[in-house]
Chains A and B, each alone.
Chain A
């Protein structure tokens, strides 16, 4: 299968994502922000970085890139979109996901391993995980505090759309050790149709034993499984 990896000016985890896709044994193609062609991608990744220098707000400018029009259409048609870090911020700004990412409560950048509890395996991004499983995945951001209206949060929980929550390594509540102070310790969510995932942690940095964790590969593997299952029924594009 083919992953399309968006490149905005200021994006920097595009090459790391391409590497993770390569480790998973699949191909990737870079998608330039000014183009509209998704290059036959089966899944679009919006990677981490500081698109457009984080000017105005994180993700606020990238949302208007020509490429994002195609991503919007792709998502509306059920295509899989994975937003990582800055990608999650862009997805919120583009209203493909509810809520917003604000400054970490520490007011400092945080780069460290986070532990994520898989809250639902019923998404195309988490099906290769066990519900309740704890994944070790690095975070690297200054603005990763997930905030939303209480009613929105309640609805996300009720619909089982919270994909990941920050926890302690043993799976217990993270408390003060949260990397950013997200509401309800939310680290990742999916949209109503469950084909768009946004997450602050970087699964592409947990793709090789050499670098300390391979837990992130479960997310890439889930996408691969979903695309394979889908293609059995799909009409050729």
Chain B
């Protein structure tokens, strides 16, 4: 091994290290790093692996709770869902690869998050996807959308894990940086949870699954820099997925969960063999020694550097005792999966890599993981934000009648039916999907317990652009409302922070604010963060995306029978608004459509009220009082009403005079404002008094608005539409060239 005499700026740029960081590494090491070592340090110190910017912020999040079985730090988080079972879940971004190669970028995003879950032994039972693109009207964006949806389906459908939910927004801010966040949820007996901490010097390290190729070299560092015109030349940094291989790998890993022969299991993700081996050894307080000449290759002539940094997919590391190696290898052979003994666990605390006996890397693990130089960028509130917030969204008169406005909102690509997307995903395989995509949260039966889990992802970037703190808090509340609307109790959060380049003071301010907002909301609702992922440098040509905090949430429903749907279930039920009347138009979808701006005060949020409203609604569903329950989100009350009609296949008439009051802007505010902490519910007439009593005991407002039934969606004195017309506008939102009119 020879130390690099001189390191050029270009070499440092390739591994995304600053000159200062390079010098620090040399100082800690007591010498200049060799070539392979430099690549290893660059990868481990990248934002993607080392969280050098976000680590101090993330430490502020609440991560403990009575149900938490595994918090952040492992491959995925885990919570107790009763019956001796654990729900294992995590969300992760694959934004940069998807922007360049949408199909493979999205597919390998799904593959990666699946591995994070089955590495812990859990059988994946559901996938969700949170997607953001530029304007739907732009054919280039639709091309990206099509590729990403095909990639998600191509992987998930083939491997046989249902894609049960997610969300999709279009906004100018994502025109050059689409967001593709994938969440995976698995279930396992608690006693079989498998961790990724190596133990027992002398134990063997097995590399299992795909052969190693040149694909994805520098993927981790690629995700830690901005995109530009030359980014498409980075295409070799995008990996290619093989869901068939992963299906076989998954079956073996799930079978081996809880098997005493398995000491530890760790998947290979960003920075491939480098980060997986280092983290595996470091978690267990051990060291690791590998000879990469033993790694099966896909192509000839690969250098040790390339082998260590390859991000070839569908690979796992296992630690086994020497006497068990051949029997464990036989389990993989049964599925025609290749396995190599590539090294041993040591007690040295070092990562030692040899190539056919010649040492090419010998680094202390502390340097790679504990000594990641944290960056503490300056935070500065963006100029001009005050002017934006000072705009009065009620000052502009609505351009359309209220009826036409509702139809336009339903036809908006941000609100209309997602069926053209989710019918391309197998959302049923596994036979546990009780509430399919299209409602609030998806609901999955948990076999053998009588219960269910509710799953959702949420994250409105428009509110966050006005106020990242409020925006992140709303994302948590909205996710929790979706979970509560089906009758479940929120039990855990996973988050994906999608931001621009944190070296910009404004972006770092957004990031710190968002983490604070997430912290406040999680504390207020009593739901811990158990896993997460950070995607920074979502910039192109110096322009950053809107600060987008995506929240993935898992809820638990004790008894499947006590669930609730979002569609009006019967004719003649009372339509009830639970929560306050409001008219927050700032940041709303109405504002975007009607006036083409995003300005004014973002929706107000009273976290104490939010918690009370959610508790009240849960109590109402638990008492069996509600025939339907739907969260109010984009498009406000008007859209929620139409959606409950669409999902229930019946109309409704609101007879209250509330909405006919005041000027047209006030009506628009009341109907389409996105005020928080609200649900639209329906209940039998004889149950209304009991609903009111529960609301009162939680100090929550309830208003009776009208009655379900008929074939019209009508609001006295404001709008009167045929249900068929409403259905059509909603159904055609994602069908280009098919307007509602």
Contacts and interface: CB of A to CB of B under 8 A. Distances in A.
A140 B428 contact: yes
A109 B426 contact: yes
B335 interface: yes
Contact of A211 (B158, B248, B422, B434): B434
A48 B430 CA distance: 12
Given A9-B247, A110-B424, A111-B423, A50 B429 contact: no
B670 to A, nearest CB: 36
B424 A108 contact: yes
Contact of B158 (A53, A138, A205, A208): A53
Interface stretch (A11-19, A37-45, A115-123, A181-189): A11-19
A54 B158 contact: yes
A50 B160 CA distance: 9
Interface residues of A, number: 30
Contacts of A48: 429
A103 B177 CA distance: 32
B336 interface: yes
A112 B244 contact: no
Contacts of B430: 15-16
B738 to A, nearest CB: 14
Nearest to A23: B431
B508 to A, nearest CB: 41
B433 interface: yes
A32 to B, nearest CB: 9
Nearest to A34: B334
A9 B157 contact: no
Interface in A44-70: 48-50, 52-55
B244 A13 contact: no
A139 to B, nearest CB: 10
Given A50-B244, A53-B244, A109-B153, A10 B158 contact: yes
A15 B125 CA distance: 13
B427 interface: yes
A204 interface: yes
Contact of B157 (A52, A55, A140): A140
B444 to A, nearest CB: 11
B433 A211 contact: yes
A223 interface: no
Interface string A94-136: 0000000000000011111000000000000000000000000
A109 B425 contact: yes
Contact of B426 (A19, A108, A111, A204): A111
A138 B428 contact: yes
Given A9-B335, A9-B336, A109-B424, A53 B243 contact: yes
A142 B425 CA distance: 10
A208 B434 CA distance: 10
Given A53-B242, A108-B424, A210-B445, A16 B157 contact: no
Contact of A16 (B244, B424, B429): B429
B658 interface: no
Interface string B534-565: 00000000000000000000000000100000
Nearest to A53: B244
Contacts of B157: 50, 109, 111, 140, 142
B159 interface: yes
A110 B428 contact: no
Contacts of B158: 10, 50, 53-54
A207 interface: yes
Given A50-B243, A205-B431, 6 more contacts: A10-B244, A54-B244, A108-B424, A111-B423, A112-B423, A211-B431
